[in-house]
Amino acid sequence: MPQPTLLSRITDFANRANPYPLYEELRAAPVLHEEEDGPYVLSSYFDIEALLHDPRISSDARNLAAAGDDELAGDETGGLPPSFLRLDPPEHDRLRRIANSAFGPPHRPRRIENLRGDMRQTVKELIDGFGDERRIDLVDQFAYPFPVTVICRLLGVPREDEPKFRGWVDPLVASLDPAAGQDTGGEFQKSAQEARMQLGMYLAGLAEQRAKEPRDDLLSDLVNSEGPDGAMTMMEVLSTSVLLLIAGHETTVNLITNGMLTLLRHPEVLARLREDPGLSVRIVEELLRYEPPVQLVPQRTCIADVEVRGVTIPKGSRIWLVLAAGNRDPERFKDPQRFDPDREDIQHLGFGSGIHSCFGAPLARLETQIALSELARRLENPRLVEDPPPYRQNAVLRGPRHLNIEFDGLRD
């Protein structure tokens, strides 16, 4: 029997709980090309950083299809035109500019900050909801519901519609991560398809309303944008909303869950956070380095020959950028395997870099800072029930499926 390839070992579910030794092997061959029709896999911090700014690297879904798509690249928008995540400039730039004018400075400098109160309230309610339970699943009872509520407030989904909205999002998000052995052609996919359609129709209706009667929300800004780029078309609004929803959901769940897992494995840091909520800023940055919610970017191709460390990656090749490996590259970081929020230079590839760097980064940062500092403050003597916890199937958006935690009580 031939030796399994390093890539197949990385995608092998058996290695999900701790892929970091495999990433170390990966870095020993920083430009890895194991199989003729396989991707070129990049794992050094500096190489990844460079390629994320390289204009010969394309994110366009059409180029990827031409290069021979693979199972990891996924397709989150089904039926809708590609979102800006899957486009190159100039189309990417136009859509991202419009989206950005609805999301942050200079046009909406307070949009994220204004969600702070809602976020705090949601976190409080979720923790209060633990009630008398002294053993919870942090994923199902906290990390999973939290980002959906936030994205609803951001988009402008009325509160009375939130349960309905959540009802569509759940199967959709679940379909991104078919559990091992699940029938992927059957009911599961069908209900996701159905949910996608319902969600699309709902958002289209809401967007039409907002076009007539704008409110102070993101959807209103997307459909009424008056900048030099004009407004988005309805289809563009839909694919952008779905992108924000899907891309912003699983990643935030994982960041919060990986965060709590890491803190429970480093109780001295957890104790410090309890005393000093301000430490959450550094903790979240170090988490994005140490346990990034997006482990690798498998969606890039090169439109010209690109030379990296003496290896020529031929035009048309698929390229994987293993962010999580770069984040622990000893060429870049001192003591890279150590979780250390006190690092002098916390930098990371956790949000990518270049023109596709995470659009929702300011939102994800704030959500996770609030979530972790409140969990640290309110849970008395929290501890892991099992270590490692059970993981999701997904190797790209890697994180625990459940995180069972026991604690002695809730502080107010």
Q: List residues binding other proteins (CB under 8 A).
A: 49-50, 53-60, 88-90, 93, 303-305, 353-355, 357
CA distance 105 to 100: 8
Least distance in angstroms from the C-beta of 58 to other proteins: 5
In contact, 279 and 341? CB cutoff 8 Å: yes
53 versus 110: smaller Cβ distance to other proteins: 53
Bridge partners of 310, per DSSP, are none
In contact, 402 and 139? CB cutoff 8 Å: yes
113 versus 125: smaller Cβ distance to other proteins: 113
CA distance 167 to 266: 36
Packed helices 234-265 and 145-155: angle between N→C axes, nearest 10 degrees: 150
Least distance in angstroms from the C-beta of 160 to other proteins: 39
143 versus 313: smaller Cβ distance to other proteins: 313
281 versus 355: smaller Cβ distance to other proteins: 355
Sign of the C-alpha dihedral computed for residues 367, 126, 381 and 136 taken in this order = negative
131 versus 228: smaller Cβ distance to other proteins: 228
Token match 């959540």: residue? 166
Least distance in angstroms from the C-beta of 288 to other proteins: 19
CA distance 370 to 116: 8
46 versus 407: smaller Cβ distance to other proteins: 46
CA distance 394 to 411: 35
Least distance in angstroms from the C-beta of 240 to other proteins: 20
Least distance in angstroms from the C-beta of 324 to other proteins: 21
CA distance 88 to 63: 10
Q: Residue 100 corresponds to which amino acid?
A: N
70 versus 93: smaller Cβ distance to other proteins: 93
55 versus 409: smaller Cβ distance to other proteins: 55
Structure tokens at 242: 């779905």
Least distance in angstroms from the C-beta of 47 to other proteins: 11
Sorted by sequence, the CB contacts under 8 Å of residue 377 that are 6+ apart come out as 274, 277, 411
Least distance in angstroms from the C-beta of 93 to other proteins: 7
Least distance in angstroms from the C-beta of 50 to other proteins: 6
87 versus 176: smaller Cβ distance to other proteins: 87
Report in angstroms the alpha-carbon separations of 220 from 154, 183, 204, 241: 10, 39, 12, 12
- Name which of 202, 265, 262 is nearest 237 in CA terms: 202
Least distance in angstroms from the C-beta of 346 to other proteins: 16
CA distance 275 to 187: 48
CA distance 26 to 96: 33
In contact, 20 and 338? CB cutoff 8 Å: no
